[in-house]
Amino acid sequence: MITLETLKPAEGSVRNNTRLGRGQGSGGGGTAKRGHKGAKSRSGYSQKRGFEGGQMPLQRRVPKFGFKNINRVEYKAINLDTIQALVDKTGVNVIDISVLYNNGLIAKTDLVKILGRGEITAAVEIKINAFSKTAVEAIEKAGGKASVDTAKVSA
């Protein structure tokens, strides 16, 4: 049984620190276990991030390409076959961001674009952030209505 008075550190987890530079008998005297001369033996030495001993660092060896467009608008793509499955499952006839969120198809912060893969047979009104041309044509052909809505998910 473990009690407060019998607590002790795990085996091998506690060691005494080596006292550097305390004479030849200590095994670390003279150079204090830093070797001879050079920057690494001096106090205040710190190596630059990515320094590889003078060899060309990996960061400079690997070529750079491309860029990240900070103005990019990222849409979550949802296809017509997914919309049709949602209508078949829930029976809704007006689909907006909150309906998709409540059915687990998007995250709260997602912007949504409806794409034209698959078929839609139900006449539904869809209010979403963006549509592809083929999706709008298919929705209107089925008797539905596609309108752009800039709203976010309401809690």
List C-alpha distances in Å: 106 to 11, 38, 79, 113, 121: 51, 59, 13, 11, 23
Domain membership flag for residue 118: yes
What is the domain-level CATH number for residue 118?
Answer: 3.100.10.10
Q: Could you tell me if residue 113 is inside a domain? A: yes
Mean pLDDT of the chain: 91
Structural domain contains residue 1: no
Read off the pLDDT of residues 63-73 as tens digits, 9 standing for 90 and up.
999 999 999 99
Tell me, yes or no, whether 94 lies in a domain.
Answer: yes
* Average pLDDT estimate for 72-94: 93
In the chain, the number of structural domains is 1
Structural domain for 102, as ranges: 75-148
Rounded to an integer, the average pLDDT of 45-62 is: 93
pLDDT value for 155: 56
Please tell me the distance from the alpha carbon of residue 125 to that of residue 93, in angstroms, as a whole number.
6
The answer to whether residue 17 sits within a structural domain is: no
